[in-house]
Structure formats: structure tokens, C-alpha cells
Structure 1
Amino acid sequence: MSNNQLVRGTMILTAAIFISKTLGLLYIFPFQAIVGLDGLALYNYGYTPYTVLLSLATLGIPLAVSKFVSKYQALGDFRTGQRLFHSGLLVMTVTGFFAFLLLFLLAEPIARQVIDPNNMEGNDLADVVFTIRMVSVALLIVPIMSIVRGYFQGFQSMGPTAVSQVVEQLVRIVFILTAAYLIIHIFEGELGVAVGFATFGAFIGALGGLVVLFIFWWRRRNAISVQIEQSEVDHRLPLKQMYKELIAYALPISFVGLAIPMFQMVDLFTFNQAMMDIGFGQNEAERYFGAFTSASHKLILIPVSVATAMSLTILPALTKSYTHGDHEGLKKQVTQTFQIILFISVPAGIGLFLLADPAYATLFGLDDLEIGGDILQYYAPVAILFSVFPVSAALLQGIDKQRYAVIALTVGVLLKALLNTLLISWLGATGAIFATAIGYLAAIAITIWAISKYTSYNYVFLLKRSLLIVMFTFAMAVVVILTNRLLQQWFPLESWGNSLISLAVPVVVGTLTYFLLTVRSGLAGDVLGHRFRFLNKKRPLQQKE
């Protein structure tokens, strides 16, 4: 495949991932309007353990399969990749079935840990069990779909993965919103039934994605068969050796991908009980849980997804520099990666912190503003940490030191587990946010140290650049605060229209302030000029590495 085709395929896949993630973030707003915070809490009771079991069922194998198939195709060996694919389908079928069985059977024990079955407030035990079991069905086919995607990517064919991801997400979201609306507003059904069927959308969406992949395979089956028949060599690797190579690469990827779900699992098992221990009723605790783990969490992931998507595009070049021993190039790419992530996530996190109330009111309504706005205000700055950790972990993978990313995540999750209940008992719901922040800070500290150790990277320049970003963010914050306070006098948060004005105007003014300051100083050109050439028109800041 030519470089142009590869770049085109990568761009298609990147666009599909961005579309899919954006849809996955935005649907939560109308869904919350249908089911409320109680419904969001119930939805998360099912989805959090499902996400963890899905990662354990696949173990990062699909991505590793794409690398494996691509490697042996480059050697002229198509048969080895085909053997691995056939074997992988069987393995993913078995692991998916056992993951489904495990989650289905553990639904009641998990539910009993999440809520008090004797408490008559909030969601009852049967609803939680039903929700967990409905989403568990998706584990039967999602692992199979994932490995088919990996196989296509091994052929440097990104189209099947891209199209199937978008179709899967669209089908899932349409089913979730339609099912929830019909059950609650048309058939006047129970909230537990509506949310249970909403989580079943994971299975329906996966079916849609699998159908798309089957169509691609059917159209290309003859061409694939010809390539296999024309294989120049056959390494005849034993399956044991194949999987040893796969797992060595895939396991760290899978584990790091579990970062947010693992932190949320801690909240799943400790948040409600800790809140009830300090005097909250179960219903109120669940509303805080829904605002924390679903509503506010989805909102802060918007700047996170943009920042990480823009920074991770540098990683292939970083891996190449490391492989070729280009230490100067490596250091520049590390600097560039961290600059991008901080340039976007710091002002976004602080801006969302300052505009938490109008943002929550605009996107989720005024009914739960007292709870949601308070949670979002404390949670928003954590978006910076959510952005930095996956990028620093990916940098370690790029220099073949991914075990330190695993160690970092383990330490972070352990700290979260040790501190969560204690901090909630001291600070209420915001204690869980501080526990998450402390866990992520510890994990990031380890990854930052490991990067420095194995690349001889000096953070002095990056610290200076970060200080400049903070200064410009502070200036933006002052403008946002003044604009917001002025608007609050004329447009108090008493209606959706007022909330929209109180959000949109400060966002525009703050964004323009930050943009003008960074462009005039040359910072924007230095950080993003390689992607947006017009930013280079101003004299760039002097960079010393």
C-alpha cells in the first residue's frame, strides 16, 4: 500500500473515531432529559462493569492482531495472519461468552454492593440486576466484531473499521433514545425497564457494526483468498508462540485503556454507601452518582477527546525516532505532544470550571442544577489530568516502556480505592472527585518520571511553556468571570434561554481572548503551527531544547 493510501486510511479512521466519540458524548444530553439523574445512575450501574468485562474479554487483542497481521504480510506471509484470525475468532467467541456468563451471573451480587436492597428509596435491586443483565448480552458479539476490525486493519484497510464504528454508534444511540422515550412517555412504563432496554442498545449497535463488517468481508473474500494462495512464505508459527507475541503487546494497551472504567468501578462500589453513611438518602446519593459518573463526566470528556486526538497523531513519529535512535527528534516530539495537550486542556478545564452552572443548565436542564453544577465545577479541572495520563502512557508505549504505564495506573487506582470513602466522609460527593484527582496525579507522576528516565528528557522548557499557558489561561479566566457576572445581572439562570446566553457569550469572549493572546505571542504557532499553517504568520516563540 502506498504512503498516500495509508495516510488516507488513517485520516478516515481518525475522522470515524472522532465522529463516534462525539456522538457518544452528545447523546447523553437528550437521554438525561428523558430518564433524569436517577436513570443516569442506573445506566452507569450496568455500563461500568460491562466496560471492564469487555476490556478483559478482548485484552487488547484486536489492536495487536492488526499489528501482527501487518507484520507478517510485510514478510510476504499471508497464511500466518489468516491462521491467527481464525483462531482469534474462536478465542474471542469463547472469552466473550464467559464474560457474558460472568456478568450475567454476578448481576445480583454486584447490584447488592451498589445499592441497599432494603432501602425503599431510589432504584430498586431488581432494576439494577435487569440493567446489568441486559447490557451483558453485548459481550457475546462485541469481542468478535473487534477482532474482525483488527484483521482488516492488518491489511491497512481502515474503511471497514471506520464505517462499522460510526454505524454501530448511530444504531446504538437511536435505539437508546427511541426505546427510553417510547417506554417512559408513550407506554408510561417504569424507569428501570426503560434504562434496561437502553443498555441493551450496546447489543443492537454491535449487531449493526457486525453486519457492516460482514458486507465488507463478503465483497473482499475472493481478493483475500488470492493473497493467501500467493503467499511467498509460511512461518508456520505454533499458536502458543503467536499468542505469546500478541499478549506481550496487547496486555499493557488493554490495561491502560481501563483507566477511567477502573476508577469508576471504585465509585460504583463505594460512592452510594459512603454518601448514605454521612446522612444522605439512597435516592439523593444516586442522583449525585448520576451527576458525577455520567452527566458531568461525559461533559468534561469533550475537551479531553479533542486534546488527546490532536496530540496522539504525533506518536507514530515519536516511535520512529526512538527506533532509529534519534534522541533530539524524540525530545522535540515529547515536548510537542505535551504542549498540545496542555494548550487545549488547561483553558478548557478552567473555562468549564468557571461556567459550570450555565453549562450544566444549558445541556441538562435546571431541575438538578444544584447537584450537577456543583459536581461539574469541582470535576472540570480533572479534565486536564484525564488528558495528560493517556498521552503520557502512550508515550511510554511508543518507547517500549509500557510496563511503567501499567504500574502507574495500578498505583492510581489503589490510591483512589483507599481514599474514596474517607474523602467522601469528609467532603461529601466532591470527595470522590478529589480521590480521582489524587489517583491520576500519582499515576501521571510515575509516567512523567519514566519518560524522563528513559528518554533523558528535561522538563525545564516544558515547565516554562506551561507557565505561559497558565498565564494566558488566567487572563482568559478574568475576562470570563467579568463577562459571566455582568450577564448574570440581566440573564439569571432561571430559564434555558438565559442559561444558553450565560454560557455562549463568555465561551466566545474567553476563547477569543485566549486565541488572540496565544497568536500574538507566537505560542499558538509554536504549538499548533504544524497543523494550522496560518498560525505561523506571527513570530514564533524561541524554542530551546
Structure 2
Amino acid sequence: MKQVLIINTQTTTEKNADRNTSFLKGTLILTVAGIVVKVIGSLNWIFVSRVLGGEGIGLYQMAFPIYFLAFNISTAGVPIAISIITAEHIALKDIWGAKRIFHISMTLMFFTGILCSLLTYFGAQWLIDWQFIRDPRAYYAVIALAPAIFFVTILASSRGYLQGWQRMTPTGVSQIVEQIFRVITMILFAQLLLPYGLEFAAAGASLGALAGAVAGLLVLIYFHWQLNKDISRTYGDHLEPPPNEKRETVYYIMKRIFKLSLPVSATSIMLPIVANLDLMIVPQRLEVAGYSVNEATKLFGYLTGMAVPLVNLATILTAALAVSIVPAISKARTLKDYDSCFSQTAAAIRISNFICFPAFVIVLVLAVPIASLIYNAPGAGPAVWVSAFSIVLLGLHQITTAVLQGLGHPTVPMVNMIIAAIAKVILNWILTAQPSLGIMGAAWATAADIGIAAIINLYFLHRYIGYKMEVKQILKNMIAAAIMALALYFSYYVILLELGSSAVATLGAVLVGTVVYIAILIVVKGILEQDMAAIPVMGKFAIKGLRKIGVFKEISQE
């Protein structure tokens, strides 16, 4: 009986691993791509800033928000909608229907992309005349960005379709290629056009968006060709529409795309809206707390320009995980495989906690050293310290939002974000004006904003698929994180800081703390074999090693 139980347990583990492998593989690809893109982007600004200087960068930055707004309007959450609908058809082996979704969506995005590009091009002078753009020299940068909107719109739609097939490699590769060509073009044309005037140099830098989008699109064309070959080989009998079956009308498909995409787009737009509310409230309430205008501006910069980017950097993996899990959940929902919906949700949240808890501890314990090392601004320490609490909450929010979108309920996270944003405005108004808190009050309000949205998301996940947070698993994460915090503090302040520079001590403490965190999780059995088995390549080797030391049971070969 014991042997049978062991075999059944293994079968369940393998089944769960198979369910989770595809979206975890996609997560790994998107995470690596995201890191590479961010590194290239950071290096780019160093070179471009040297060419354009502060004034030229200012001209570029005046044009870029117009492009970003037009791009968001033209895409409007469509990639996620296409990903969801495509995954549904693939789950039903309706390959003809999946390809039809792609053709309809591309036609839709073709016309919306052209419309937004034309509006941006011909509206550039109007934006200057009406003083939306204060410096008329930014005109050339705006019209240089206009054509890029069309290509980026097509690019986003194409990525959504491939993600529906749970193919994340095309997205990752195209993002890297797009960034490389964007950077090269920005630096090259900014340098070439600089002799003709700063406004033309800024326009030259703006051409980078166009070059990057075209290069990324060419990469995706190759991946589409490769996908079509695989489709013909695998689904040869399903490439034609089933006879005598009623097909969805074009109107219905377009209506469904808009129905799914608009809440997703509204959710994305909530982020800049909340940021603008912060801009209106936080500096003013800091002045009420007794800070001067200059001090309030500096503190606001500490929070929005230093602490918040650190939180976003710490959750880069969970952001990639969120993109990967949408089509996986959508496919399972279409097949009414709610066990798979549950297991993939649970695995994603466990992995989010596994990553976010140590990141939270690192930023919490080493807030001042990290602010000094990265920004040379130890004064940002308090804002960074409080913002650490947002890391675990943001990871949870990203995953739960993605799962709800995959379940076909994109409106739920949008409404939850609105409720949370209202709470944030109230807390910002109250807490930031307290002299004892100041900018820390605004950081607490941000953490509360994310936490409220995540908790309400969890309520709806329980309602739709019966998911509850795994309390025992979280306790194991918390125990490992607490011991890690002690190891970080002791290794940094007691040992390493005495032996070398603050930078070396910070990096050394992070390494020590990470090793301690993983070791404690192994001891308390906080790492599940089914999660480890789902990790591409490294998972199998890790399981073998952990079996040898007795963490996982050896499987009988009889």
C-alpha cells in the first residue's frame, strides 16, 4: 500500500508539473528578456544624455508622453485580449478559429494604428499652439515618433497572438532586438543631427522608437512563419473550419476583443492616474507637515524616483509570470479544467512569494545602504524602507490580476484598483501631513493601495475557483525571511562593514542572506517538488540534489 501511495504521489506531482511547466518556461524567458532590456535601456540613457545634454533630453521627454499616450490608446489592452481568445480556441483545437482571430485583430489594429499615427502627426502643431507642449522645438520629436505608433501597435497585437499559443520566446527575443535597434538609432541619429540644432537631435533620438518597432516586427514575422510550420505539422486535420458549424461573426469577435481589452487598458491607465494624483497631493501635504517647497520636492523624488523603481525592479519576475499565466489559465478555463486553474494559480502565488519575500527583506534591512549604493542618496532610506512592504503585495497583485484576466473577469481587477486608489488618496491626505511620518506616510499609502487591491482580488479568486492562500506555506516563507533578516543584519553591520567598503558589504550581505533563505526553506520543507519539477532545465537537477540530501523522497523504480 505504501508503494502505491508513493507512485500516486509522483503521478500527481508530474501532472501538476506538466500543467505549470509551460507558463514557468515563458516566465523565465520574459524575465531574462526584461532584465536585458532594462540593462540596455539604462546604458542608452548614459550615452544619449551625453549627446543631447539636459535641454535635449527635456525636448525628447516632452514628446515621448504624447507617443506613449497615443500608443496606449491604439493598443488598449488588445494584446491580452487576443492572447485570451486565441488560447480558448487552441484549447478546443479550433486552429482555424485561432488563426481567424489573428487576422481579424490584425486588421483592427492596422486601422487603429494608422489613425493614431495620423492624429499624432497632424496634431503635433496643435499641441504646441494650445500649450500642451510648452517648447515649440519639441514639434520635430513628436512627428518623428508618430510613425512608430503604427508599427508598435502591430507589434503588440502580434505578440498577443503568439502568447495565446503560450510561446513567450518571440516576445522576449523581439523585445531585446527592438531595444537594441532603438538604442543604436537614438545614439546614431542624435549625433548625426546635432549640428543642425538641438531640436533636430531630439527628433533623431525619437526615431529610435520607429527603428526598434520595425526590427521587432521583422523578428516576429520569422516566429509566425515558424509557428505556421508547426501548426501544419501538428494540426493538419484541424486547419479548415468544421462543416455545418456556426462560426462567430466578425462583429462578435471585435466586440469580444473590446470587451476584454477595455478593462485591461483601464487597469493600466490607473497607474499613471494614481501617479498624477500623487503629484497633486504628496508635495502639498508635505508642506502642511512643515517641509519647505524644496524639501518636499526632494522627498517626493526619493519616493517616486528611487523607492518605487526599486519595488518594480524587485518584481520583474512576477510581472513576467503574470504575462505568462494569462493564456494558461484561459486555456484551462475553456476546457473547464478548474483543477488546473487552481493548481496553476497556487503555483504562481507560491513562486511569487518565494521571490518577493527575500527581496522584501533585502530592501527592508539594507534600505539606507541600497539607496546609497544605487542612487548615492542615503536620505531616500526611509522611503525605501517603507516601500519594501510593497514588494510582496505587488507580486501578489500582479499574479491575482493576471489570473482573473485569464478567467475572463478583467473588469474585477480594474474595479478593485479604483477602490484601492480611493483609499490611497485618503491615506495620502492624512498620513503624509503627519510630521512624524512625512514621505513615509505616502509610502505607507502606496503599500496600502497595492495591498487592498490584492486582497480583494484574492476574495474573487476564492469565489471563482475556490482558491485560498496556503497559510502553512506562507508561514514557512516568513520563518525563512525572518532568519534571513537576522543574517543580513549581522553579516552587514557586524562583519562585512568592518572589513570593507559599504558597497562590497551590501553585495556580500545580499549573497549571504539569499543562501540562508534558501537553506532555511529547504530545512522547513518550504520548497515543493511539484514547483521545482516545473522549472525548466534547472528543476530536474535541483530535485536530484534535494533527493540525495533527503529533502524529497526517492522514488521507487520497481
- Indicate the TM-score class for this superposition, using the shorter chain for normalisation: 0.7 to 0.9
Alignment of structure 1 residues 463-478 onto 2, 5 Å:
463-478=471-486
**How much does 1:435 deviate?**
2.3
**How much does 1:299 deviate?**
2.9
Partner in structure 1 of residue 217 of structure 2: 210
**One of 249, 255, 258 as aligned partner of 2:266:** 255
1:425 counterpart SS class: coil
**How much does 1:370 deviate?**
3.1
TM-score, length-scaled by structure 1:
0.74
- Contact 1:52-1:261 within 8 A present in 2 as well: no
Answering whether residue 433 of structure 2 is matched by residue 425 of structure 1, we say yes
Report the CA distance shift for 1:317/1:166 in structure 2 as closer, same or farther (over 3 A). closer
- Contact 1:67-1:154 within 8 A present in 2 as well: yes
Partners of 1:515 and 1:98 lie apart in 2 by: 53
Partners of 2:107 and 2:175 lie apart in 1 by: 23
1:524 counterpart SS class: coil
Partner in structure 2 of residue 529 of structure 1: 532
Partner in structure 2 of residue 482 of structure 1: 490
- Contact 1:476-1:514 within 8 A present in 2 as well: yes
Answering whether residue 22 of structure 2 is matched by residue 19 of structure 1, we say no
Bigger CA drift: 251-260 or 406-415?
A: 251-260
Alignment of structure 1 residues 186-265 onto 2, 5 Å:
201-213=208-220, 231-232=240-241, 238-258=249-269, 260-265=271-276
Partner in structure 2 of residue 382 of structure 1: 390
Report the CA distance shift for 1:449/1:155 in structure 2 as closer, same or farther (over 3 A). closer
Q: Which amino acid aligns with 1:253?
A: V
**How much does 1:354 deviate?**
1.7
Q: Which amino acid aligns with 2:30?
A: I
Spell out, residue by residue over 1:300-330, the C-alpha distance to the aligned partner (whole angstroms, 9 max, x if none).
3233122454577666665566555566655
Spell out, residue by residue over 1:326-351, the C-alpha distance to the aligned partner (whole angstroms, 9 max, x if none).
66655444433322211220121121
- Contact 1:53-1:103 within 8 A present in 2 as well: no
Report the CA distance shift for 1:9/1:466 in structure 2 as closer, same or farther (over 3 A). closer
Spell out, residue by residue over 1:423-446, the C-alpha distance to the aligned partner (whole angstroms, 9 max, x if none).
443344334322221211221121
Partners of 2:174 and 2:74 lie apart in 1 by: 20
- Contact 2:88-2:334 within 8 A present in 1 as well: no
Alignment of structure 1 residues 227-376 onto 2, 5 Å:
231-232=240-241, 238-258=249-269, 260-271=271-282, 279-281=291-293, 288-309=299-320, 322=333, 330-364=341-375, 366=376, 369-376=377-384
**How much does 1:512 deviate?**
1.1
Partners of 2:26 and 2:417 lie apart in 1 by: 27
**How much does 1:511 deviate?**
0.8
**How much does 1:83 deviate?**
5.0
**How much does 1:501 deviate?**
0.4
Partner in structure 1 of residue 446 of structure 2: 436
RMSD: 4.9
Q: Which amino acid aligns with 1:438?
A: A
> Which structure ranks higher in relative contact order (CA pairs < 8 Å, sequence separation ≥ 6)?
2
Q: Which amino acid aligns with 2:406?
A: G
**How much does 1:145 deviate?**
2.2
Q: Structure 2: state its 5+ residue gaps.
A: 1-18, 554-558
Partners of 1:109 and 1:287 lie apart in 2 by: 32
Partner in structure 1 of residue 11 of structure 2: none
Percent of pairs with identical residues? 21
Answering whether residue 112 of structure 2 is matched by residue 92 of structure 1, we say yes
Partner in structure 1 of residue 420 of structure 2: 412
Report the CA distance shift for 1:215/1:28 in structure 2 as closer, same or farther (over 3 A). closer
- Contact 1:359-1:503 within 8 A present in 2 as well: yes
Partner in structure 1 of residue 462 of structure 2: 452
**How much does 1:166 deviate?**
1.7
Q: Which amino acid aligns with 1:484?
A: Y
Report the CA distance shift for 1:457/1:215 in structure 2 as closer, same or farther (over 3 A). closer
**How much does 1:481 deviate?**
0.9
Alignment of structure 1 residues 115-126 onto 2, 5 Å:
none
Q: How many residues align?
A: 511
- Contact 2:26-2:166 within 8 A present in 1 as well: no
Report the CA distance shift for 1:47/1:472 in structure 2 as closer, same or farther (over 3 A). farther
Q: Which amino acid aligns with 2:442?
A: A
- Contact 1:138-1:202 within 8 A present in 2 as well: yes
Spell out, residue by residue over 1:134-173, the C-alpha distance to the aligned partner (whole angstroms, 9 max, x if none).
7676434321322233455667776654432221122234
Answering whether residue 164 of structure 2 is matched by residue 141 of structure 1, we say no
Q: Structure 1: state its 5+ residue gaps.
A: 1-5, 118-124, 492-497
Spell out, residue by residue over 1:452-511, the C-alpha distance to the aligned partner (whole angstroms, 9 max, x if none).
22233344xx223222211221111111111211233444xxxxxx24302111011101
Partners of 2:293 and 2:409 lie apart in 1 by: 46
Partners of 2:286 and 2:188 lie apart in 1 by: 33
Partner in structure 2 of residue 120 of structure 1: none
- Contact 2:165-2:327 within 8 A present in 1 as well: no
Q: Which amino acid aligns with 1:396?
A: L
**How much does 1:87 deviate?**
2.6
Spell out, residue by residue over 1:247-297, the C-alpha distance to the aligned partner (whole angstroms, 9 max, x if none).
223233333444544433433555555556764446x66555554334443
Report the CA distance shift for 1:101/1:267 in structure 2 as closer, same or farther (over 3 A). farther
